[in-house]
Structures are given as C-alpha cells and as structure tokens.
C-alpha cells in the first residue's frame, strides 16, 4: 500500500535550518517508526521545498530550493517549519499557513512574542497546531515542562535564556576581550542575525514573555519588562566580580506574585543555581506551588541543539495532524 506523504515546507536553511534538514534526512526511518508507534499510521515525511534568500548559497538543495514563499505555500503543504527568523515576513507567512490549515513549527521568539498571542489564536480558530519549543532555551524542553505544570501556580521563573551573551560573559570573565568574544560567538552560530537582539537583552525579553504567557495565560508587553543589556558592563566590573568569586550573568526574571519582570546583568554568588551555567548553556529555575523548585540546564543555542527541539515539535505536529484527520 502506498504510504501517505506528509509534505513539509522548510523556511530557512541557515544555522538551524541546515541542521533540521540534515536531521530529517538522516533519521527518516526512525521518525516513521516513532509516528507509527504513536498513531498506528505509517506515513512518509518529506521536505518538498526550502525557502532561502540567495539560491547560489544553497546549490546542494537542487530544485527544492526557492526564493518564492507564495509558490512554496501553494504546493500541498501539511507542515511549515519557519526558521528564517525576524518579525517580517515570518509573521505573515506563519499567519497565511495557519489560516490555510497548515500546522506550523517555529523557533522565532521575536515573531511569537510580538504577535502577543495572535498566532496561537489563528491556530486555534483554524483547528491546526502551532509549536515553538525551540523559541525558548534551545534544546531544553522548558515549554513542554511549563505547560505540564497545570496542577497549580508557577510563582517564579529565573533563568539564563540567552546562550550567546552567556558565552560572551564567560569568555570575558576568562580574560578574552569583548570584541573577540563577540566574534567567537558569531563564528559559532550563537548570535542572532542582528547581534543587538542578544546583547541588548531583546532576545531574552521575548523568551521571558513566552514563558510568562505559558505560565499565566497572558503575554506581558515590552513595557512591562525592565530590560538592561550587557553592553554597559565593563571588563573591569566583570574582573572585579571574578575576584569576589561572583559571576555576571544576564538574568531573566519573572516574579508572578509581584508582577515584576526583568532582564538585567546580575553578579551571582557562587552558591546560586545559575552560577555554574557557563558558555552557551542556558539554565532555568522555576518554583511551582506543588512541584516545588525545579532546575533545567542545557544547550540554549547552536544548529543541531536547536534543531533537536524543532524536530521534536515536527513529529508532534505530524502525529496530531494524523490523529485529527482520523476523526474528520
């Protein structure tokens, strides 16, 4: 019997998109088996098109590479994976896909935070799923964890949510100059296309906003979150902190009891949970009415690491689509 194809459109073939593309190709049979176990159906997930802005840079993709998102979405797409980043045209493309009955997976915290719940509502209105685990803390399954803590209130979240600034601060604390640390972060694919999004704290703010939405059901606005980046910190301040056995980290904090939200550099004492979260790692502490204190740590950036969360969402989206279709 011919297997049903699940058609996937991939937007972006950069740091994360390349990893997602490769992991999907290399693990096809594993995914088919996982989907079969979860749904009882055998399907054939296939990437039918990849959106890029410069075809010359992606010649290895052959005929499936395109610069035309409209034509890509006109094909019979089941799932859209959005990895171009930025607010526009990513928001418009996700809106179009969700409104057309296509399930969407994205890692785009900026577009998700800025839409302030509109993308989630469009997905609900059109009975499709919208997944964005990779948008917060890369490989750490923090959004799934927050969603599962429904038995009671989450009272506080505190974390290092931006791997690139953590990498930069760790390097500078070890005597590397700020310019060199920035270049190293960029060379390793840790920095956003617009580095000010990382160093000025916007990236961490988007992520804290998404965590707050999942914990409370309400997005804070930009003005509700105090935001201070790392560029005001001098190498001397970082060195002095080191001499006092402290470490500067860009800390994202949401206190749901007081309603106070902030992103700012904090010199942590050596007994703080986040003190040892170094390099590009992310760490998150959260406090829950029934579960007590929980601590998560893992890779917050990088192609394969972020792709691991994207692909987890993709397989969920495929399974939900199959189960939904069985009941239609």
Ligand X SMILES: NC(=O)c1ccc[n+]([C@@H]2O[C@H](COP(=O)([O-])OP(=O)(O)OC[C@H]3O[C@@H](n4cnc5c(N)ncnc54)[C@H](OP(=O)(O)O)[C@@H]3O)[C@@H](O)[C@H]2O)c1
Task: State the sign of the Cα–Cα–Cα–Cα dihedral 90, 91, 93, 97.
Answer: positive
Q: Which of 57, 118, 121, 207 is catalytic?
A: 207
Tokens representing 118 are 């509109």
Q: Which of 14, 235, 242, 279 binds ligand X (CB under 6 A)?
A: 14
Tokens representing 325 are 């279709």
- Does 12 participate in binding ligand X (rule CB under 6 A)? yes
Candidates 7-15, 113-121, 153-161, 318-326; binding stretch for ligand X (CB under 6 A): 7-15
- Does 189 participate in binding ligand X (rule CB under 6 A)? yes
Which is nearer to ligand X, 212 or 282 (by Cβ)? 282
- Does 107 participate in binding ligand X (rule CB under 6 A)? yes
Residue 207 annotated to the active site: yes
- Does 302 participate in binding ligand X (rule CB under 6 A)? yes
Which is nearer to ligand X, 129 or 162 (by Cβ)? 162
Compute the CA torsion angle 262, 265, 269, 273 (nearest 10 deg).
Answer: 60
How many CA atoms, within 13 angstroms, populate the side-chain half-sphere of residue 95?
Answer: 11
Q: Which of 49, 85, 229, 298 binds ligand X (CB under 6 A)?
A: 85
Task: Report in angstroms how near the CB of residue 27 gets to ligand X at its nearest.
Answer: 19
Q: Which of 7, 8, 9, 13 binds ligand X (CB under 6 A)?
A: 13
Tokens representing 210 are 């998404």
Which of 174, 136, 320, 160 is CA-nearest to residue 230?
160
Compute the CA torsion angle 262, 265, 270, 274 (nearest 10 deg).
Answer: 50
Candidates 116-124, 153-161, 228-236, 300-308; binding stretch for ligand X (CB under 6 A): 300-308
Distance CA 169, CA 162 (A): 11
Q: In sequence order, which residues have a C-beta less than 8 Å from that of residue 173 and are 6 or more positions away?
A: 238, 239, 241, 242, 247, 248
Distance CA 72, CA 76 (A): 9
- Does 112 participate in binding ligand X (rule CB under 6 A)? no
- Does 51 participate in binding ligand X (rule CB under 6 A)? yes
How do beta strands 281-288 and 292-299 pair? antiparallel
Which is nearer to ligand X, 65 or 238 (by Cβ)? 65
Residues lying near ligand X in the complex (CB under 6 A) = 12-17, 51-54, 57, 83-85, 89, 107-109, 134, 138, 189-190, 192-193, 301-302, 306
């Amino acid at each position: 019997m011919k297997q049903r194809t699940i058609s996937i459109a991939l937007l972006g073939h950069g740091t994360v998109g390349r990893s997602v593309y490769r992991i999907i190709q290399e693990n096809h049979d594993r995914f088919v088996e996982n989907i079969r176990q979860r749904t009882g159906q055998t399907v054939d997930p296939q990437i039918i098109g990849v959106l890029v802005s410069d075809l010359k840079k992606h010649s290895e993709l052959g005929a499936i590479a395109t610069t035309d998102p409209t034509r890509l979405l006109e094909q019979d797409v089941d799932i859209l994976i959005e990895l171009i980043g930025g607010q526009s045209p990513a928001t418009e493309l996700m809106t179009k896909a969700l409104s057309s009955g296509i399930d969407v997976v994205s890692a785009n915290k900026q577009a998700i935070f800025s839409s302030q719940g509109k993308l989630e509502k469009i997905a609900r209105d059109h009975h499709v799923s919208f997944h964005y685990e990779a948008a917060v803390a890369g490989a750490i399954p923090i959004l799934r964890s927050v969603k599962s803590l429904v038995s009671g209130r989450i009272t506080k979240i505190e974390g290092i949510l931006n791997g690139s600034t953590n990498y930069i601060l760790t390097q500078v604390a070890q005597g590397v100059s700020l310019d060199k640390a920035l270049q190293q972060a960029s060379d390793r694919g840790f920095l956003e296309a617009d580095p000010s999004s990382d160093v000025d704290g916007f990236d961490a703010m988007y992520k804290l906003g998404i965590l707050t939405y999942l914990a409370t059901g309400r997005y804070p606005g930009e003005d509700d979150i105090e935001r201070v980046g790392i560029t005001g910190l001098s190498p001397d301040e970082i060195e002095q902190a080191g001499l006092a056995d402290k470490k500067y980290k860009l800390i994202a904090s949401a206190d749901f009891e007081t309603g106070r939200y902030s992103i700012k550099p904090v010199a942590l004492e050596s007994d703080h949970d986040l003190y040892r979260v170094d390099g590009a790692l992310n760490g998150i502490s959260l406090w829950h009415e029934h579960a007590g204190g929980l601590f998560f740590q893992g890779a917050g950036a990088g192609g394969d690491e972020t792709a691991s969360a994207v692909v987890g969402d993709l397989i969920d989206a495929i399974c939900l689509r199959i189960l939904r279709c069985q009941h239609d």
